[in-house]
Chains A and B, each alone.
Chain A
Amino acid sequence: MAFLIIFNVFPLLYSLGFSFTDFRASSKAAVNFVGLKNYTDILADPVIWRSFSTTLWYVIVSVSGQFVVGFGLALMLNRPIPGKGFLTTLLLLPMMLSPVVVGLFWKLIYDPSWGILNYALGLGKTAWLTDANLALYAVAITDIWMWSPFVMLLSLAGLSAVPKHLYEAASIDRASKFYTFFRITLPLVAPILLIAVIFRTMEAFKTFDIAFVMTGQPQAELISSRLYKMAFAQWQTGPASALAYIVLIMVLCITNIYVKYLNKAKER
C-alpha cells in the first residue's frame, strides 16, 4: 500500500502543484505562481479543443466498430463449430500484441506506394496516414483490428451463460428468431456488453502509442499526443500538468462508472 501511495499519489500531488505555475522542466528560470491561468489558457485554446473533439470522434468510431465486429463474431462463434477453441485463440492474438509494434506494421500495410492494403483493395495510391481526413480513420481501423477480439471474448462469455432452457421454451412457443434474439439474448448479454464498451471507451480515450507512432497529422491528434508534445517537446511543464489534470478527472469519472458495473457483474 505504501508503495502504491508513493508511486501514484505523490506524483499526482507533485504535478497538481506544477499545474498552477509557469514551470518549464527544461530551464532553470525561477518558478512563478500563476494561479488558475494555465487552466483558463487551456480551456481557451482552440488546438486543445480540437484534440478533445478528435479524441471524442475517435472513441465513437473505434468503440462502435469494435462492438459491431466483436459482437458479430461472438454471435457466429456461439454455435457448435469444430475447432472453435483454436479459432478463438487465433482471433485473440491481436489484442495481446504491443500497440506500438502493431502501429508500426500497420504503417507498412497502409503505405501509399507499396502497401498491401491499397493493392488488395485496388485503391491506387491512397495515402492513408498522411491524408488529413483519413488518418484518424486509419488509426481507428487499426484499433478495431486490435480490440474487437476483446469485445468478442466478453460477448462469448455472456452468450454462453444464457441458460439453454430459455431458448427451448422460446422454440416451443414458436417464437421467431428475431424475437428470441431481442427478448432473450440481448437483455441477458447486455450487462457484460456494457462492461466491454465502457472499458474500451476508457482505453480508447487514453490511446497514445498507436496514434503517436502511426501519424503526425494535426487533424488526427489525440489528447494524449497533444499532452506528450506539450510536456516533452515544448517543455511547457506547468500548462501540461494542468491539462493532465483535466484529462485525469475525465478518466476517473469513466473509471468510476466502469468499476461500478464490474462489481455488479461480480455479484451475479
Chain B
Amino acid sequence: MAVVSTRSGRLGNRIAIAIVIVITLIFLSPIYWITTTAFKPLVQATSVPPSIVFEPQITPFVKLFTKRAQLTAPVAPEVYEAAPWWERLVLDGGERLARDGKGNVVFSAYPDRFINSLIIAITSTILAVSLGTVTAYGFSRFRVKGEADLLFFILSTRMLPPIVVAIPMFLMYRAVGLNDTHIGLIILYTAFNVSFAVWLMKGFMDEIPKEYEEAALVDGYTRMQAFFKIVLPEAATGIAATAVFCFITAWNEYAFALILTNRRAQTAPPFIPSQIGTGLQDWTVIAAGTVLFLIPVAIFTFLLRNHLLRGMSFGAIRK
C-alpha cells in the first residue's frame, strides 16, 4: 500500500517480508529436495529420517547415462584399478557397467530421449514462431474480415484438452505412418504453438508504430523489405520471448508424446516416469534425470522474468 511511513506500517512491512520469505522457502523446498536427491548415495536417498547432511556425489548421473547389471562376484583389484573414475563409482555401488562385444560402455536410453526432446522442441519452436510472426503481422497491419472470430478460433485450438485431440490424431498418424516419428511430433507441437505465437506476437506487433513502415514504404521499400528490415528488428525482443515460451511448452508436453511415441521418437517427459516400476526403484537416478531435464526451463524462466506476465496471459495483459 502507498502509506507505509507510519510506525505500524513499517512493522506490517517487516512481517510481510518475513512471511513472504518463509513462503518462498516452502515453495522452493520441493525443488531443493529433488536436486539434492540427485546427488545422494542410494542408501541416503530413502533413509529414515531423511538425511539432510550428506556427501554429494555424481554417481546418480553416471548411472543415468549407462546400462548396468548387478555384480555377482567382487571385482578383481586389477580390474578396479584399471577402471576410469566414473566406472569405479558404479562398482562401489555393487553394480557393473554393461558393455557391448567391443568392450564399449552401453548407454542407457536417457541421452537419446533427451536429444529427441531437444530436436523436437527446437524445430517446432522455429516453425511456430516464424509462422506465428507472419500471421500476427497480417492481423496487426491489415483489416481482416471477422478478425475477432478468427483470433478466437486460433486460440481455441490451444485450449482443447490434449487427450480429446489425441484420439483422432493417433488414428490419423497411424494411417499415414507418422506414429513414433520426430516429424509427427514436430508438426503437432507446431500446430499447438502457432496459436499461442500469433496471440503473443500480435500484441508485440501492435506496439510497433505503423509510421515506421509507412515511412519506409514512401521511401520505396516493398512490403517485404519493410517487414524484414523495419518490423523484424523492432520485434526482436517479442520474438525471443515468444520463442522461449513455445520451447518450454514443447519441452514440457506429455500427453501427446505419451500417446504418439513409444521408442524411436519418444521425448523425455514420458520416458522419465516409465523408469519407475522397472525393477528396483533407484530414486537417485530418477532425480538425476529430472534435474537435467529441469535445468533448461529454470534458466529460461530467469531470462524471461520480465515477459512472464505477458506470455501467461496470451499477450492480453501488459505492464
Which residues of A pack against B, CB within 8 Å? Answer: 1, 3-4, 7-8, 10-12, 14-15, 18, 25, 73, 76-82, 85, 87-101, 103-109, 113-114, 116, 119, 145, 149-150, 153-154, 157, 160, 164, 167-168, 171, 177, 180, 192, 195, 199, 202, 205-206, 208-209, 213, 224, 227-228, 231-232, 237, 240-241, 244-245, 247-248, 251-252, 255-256, 258-259, 262-263, 265-266
A77 to B154, CA, bound (A): 35
Nearest chain A CB to B39 CB, angstrom units: 14
Shortest Cβ gap from A241 to chain B (Å): 6
Question: Which one of B163, B168, B248, B276 lies within 8 Å of A12 (CB-CB)?
Answer: B168
The 8 A CB mask of B151-171 against A (1 = contact, 0 = none) is: 011111101111111111111
Q: Which 7 A-B pairs have the closest CB atoms?
A: A11-B168, A98-B252, A7-B191, A15-B168, A206-B161, A167-B2, A105-B34
- B46 contact set on A, CB distance < 8 A: 113-114
Query: Closest B-chain residue to A102, C-beta based?
Result: B30
Q: Which of B49, B131, B167, B287 contacts A119 (CB 8 A)?
A: B49
Show the binding face of B for A, using Cβ within 8 Å: 1-4, 13, 16-17, 19-21, 23-24, 27-28, 30-31, 33-34, 37, 46-50, 131, 135, 148, 150, 152-157, 159-172, 174, 187-188, 190-191, 194-195, 248, 251-252, 254-255, 259, 269-270, 272-273, 276, 283, 286-287, 290, 293-294, 297-298, 300-302, 305, 308-309, 312-314, 316-317, 319
CB distance B312 to A208 under 8 Å? no
Tell me whether B30 and A145 are in contact (CB under 8 A): yes
| 20 A-B interface contacts by CB (under 8 A) | A11-B168, A81-B20, A82-B17, A87-B24, A90-B24, A101-B294, A103-B273, A105-B34, A150-B312, A154-B313, A160-B319, A164-B2, A177-B1, A206-B162, A208-B255, A213-B273, A245-B164, A259-B152, A263-B316, A266-B316
Total of A-B residue pairs, C-beta within 8 Å: 238
B317, A227: Cβ atoms under 8 Å? Answer: no
Across-interface contacts of B48 in A (CB, < 8 A)? 113-114, 119
Interchain CB contact under 8 A, A116 and B50: yes
Q: Is the CB of A251 within 8 A of B3?
A: no
Beta-carbon contact of B148 and A263 below 8 Å: yes
B161 touches A224 (CB 8 A): yes
CB closest chain-B residue, reference A227: B163
Which residues of B are found within 8 Å of A168, using beta-carbon distances? 2-3
Q: How far is the CB of B218 from chain A (nearest CB, A)?
A: 30
Q: Could you tell me the distance between the alpha carbons of A145 and B31 in the complex, rounded to whole angstroms?
A: 11
With A93-B298, A153-B312 given, name 13 new contacts (CB 8 A).
A8-B157, A14-B172, A103-B273, A104-B276, A116-B33, A168-B3, A206-B162, A208-B162, A224-B163, A232-B170, A241-B167, A244-B167, A263-B148
CB-contact partner of B131 in A3, A82, A208, A237, under 8 A: A3
Q: Among B30, B148, B170, which residue has its beta carbon within 8 angstroms of that of A109?
A: B30
Q: Which chain A residues lie closer than 8 Å to B49 at the CB level?
A: 119
Question: Is B273's CB under 8 angstroms from A97's CB?
Answer: no
In the complex with contacts A91-B27, A100-B270, A259-B170 CB distance below 8 A: no
The reply to whether A93 and B28 contact each other, CB–CB distance below 8 Å, is yes
Majority SS at the chain B contact face: helix
Q: Let me know if B317 and A265 touch, CB within 8 A.
A: yes
Do B33 and A109 touch across chains, with their CB atoms under 8 A apart?
Answer: yes
Given contacts A153-B308, A262-B313, A265-B317, contact A96 B300 (CB under 8 A): yes
In the complex, the answer to whether B33 meets A105 with C-beta atoms within 8 Å is yes
Q: A262–B161 contact, CB under 8 A?
A: no
Chain A residues, CB < 8 A from B171: 14-15, 18, 25, 237
The CA-CA distance from A47 to B269 in the complex, in Å, is 29
Contacting pair B160 A76 (CB below 8 A) = no
Residue from B23, B33, B161, B270 in contact with A248 in the complex, judged by beta carbons closer than 8 Å: B161
Residue of B nearest to A250 (CB): B161
